[in-house]
């Protein structure tokens, strides 16, 4: 019975930004758990590479999450191919680093659109399909900078967007709960992915290690269990939750422990 609670057998999942980083790790874990997985991202060659690892039952769609037409096509394509959509993971995102005094409006808007508006649009169209099914799971990937701010500021649009993802999670959890759609957020800490690989071996890497009670950076395996839980029947009474998977980073006051 416990195994059934966590099973994703024949569930249909769409992972945005599923062609790299944590999104790829989540997509592969879902497939290994028995789900039928669609990944969506802007880079067709990366989509194809991950698709080959997911197996013959998977699908890939070119997707710009900031373009509502593109979102509609990806969701409709998933439903056309698999007959339904049970799980949406809003993972697509980009980083940004600039002073509030220097950040230009176009860059601000681009980061907000990709990290926040995209999650709104994907939720909007996925929820419409889930409503007709009578059930669904939406998992939003926020960030530690969705609950705190960088020590030097600077990541203005990214921090605002990731805070917004948590607000989006809560308001949609409340609205969609009567439809048996659960909406939750995951707050990853510092993980080594393509976006952060340049930080490996730097003084900043060591600063994060000292700041993190677990004493290390995360990798894709660390986030998989939480995603599987939130995607499965085991979390049917969980909605509006914000789960940190950060090695204790945001629980600590940040002072040196030595």
Which residues are marked as active site? 158
Task: State how far the Cα of 114 lies from the Cα of 164, in Å rounded to an integer.
Answer: 12
**37, containing H or E segment:** strand 36-41
Tokens of 49: 């590479």
The helix or strand, by DSSP H or E, that contains position 62, with its residue range, turns out to be strand 59-62
In angstroms, the first-to-last Cα distance of the chain is 45
Q: What distance in Å separates the CA atoms of residue 201 and residue 196, rounded to the nearest whole number?
A: 11
Side-chain half-sphere CA neighbours of 5 within 13 A: 8
Q: Tokens in use for 126?
A: 């996925």
Alpha helix (H) residue ranges in 43-145: 44-54, 68-82, 105-112, 118-133
User: Are 31 and 231 spatial neighbours (Cβ–Cβ below 8 Å)?
Assistant: no
């Amino acid at each position: 019975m416990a195994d059934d609670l966590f099973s994703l057998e024949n569930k249909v999942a769409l992972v945005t930004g599923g062609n790299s980083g944590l999104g790829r790790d989540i997509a592969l874990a879902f497939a290994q758990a028995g789900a039928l997985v669609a990944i969506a991202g802007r880079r067709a060659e990366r989509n194809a590479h991950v698709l080959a690892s997911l197996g013959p039952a998977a699908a890939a769609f070119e997707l710009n999450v900031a373009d509502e037409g593109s979102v509609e096509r990806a969701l409709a394509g998933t439903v056309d191919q698999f007959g339904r959509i049970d799980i949406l993971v809003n993972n697509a995102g980009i980083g940004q680093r600039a002073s509030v005094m220097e950040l230009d409006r176009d860059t601000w808007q681009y980061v907000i659109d990709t990290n926040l508006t995209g999650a709104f649009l994907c939720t909007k169209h996925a929820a419409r399909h889930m409503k007709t099914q009578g059930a669904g799971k939406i998992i939003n990937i926020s960030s530690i900078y969705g609950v705190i701010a960088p020590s030097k500021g600077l990541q203005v649009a990214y921090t605002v967007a990731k805070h917004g993802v948590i607000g989006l999670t809560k308001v949609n959890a409340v609205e969609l709960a009567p439809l048996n759609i659960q909406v939750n957020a995951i707050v990853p800490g510092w993980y080594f992915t393509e976006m952060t690989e340049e930080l490996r071996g730097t003084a900043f890497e060591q600063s994060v290690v000292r700041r993190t009670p677990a004493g290390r950076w995360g990798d894709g395996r660390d986030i998989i269990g939480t995603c599987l839980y939130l995607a499965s029947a085991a979390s049917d009474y969980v909605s509006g939750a914000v789960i940190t998977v950060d090695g204790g980073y945001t629980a600590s006051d940040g002072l040196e422990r030595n």
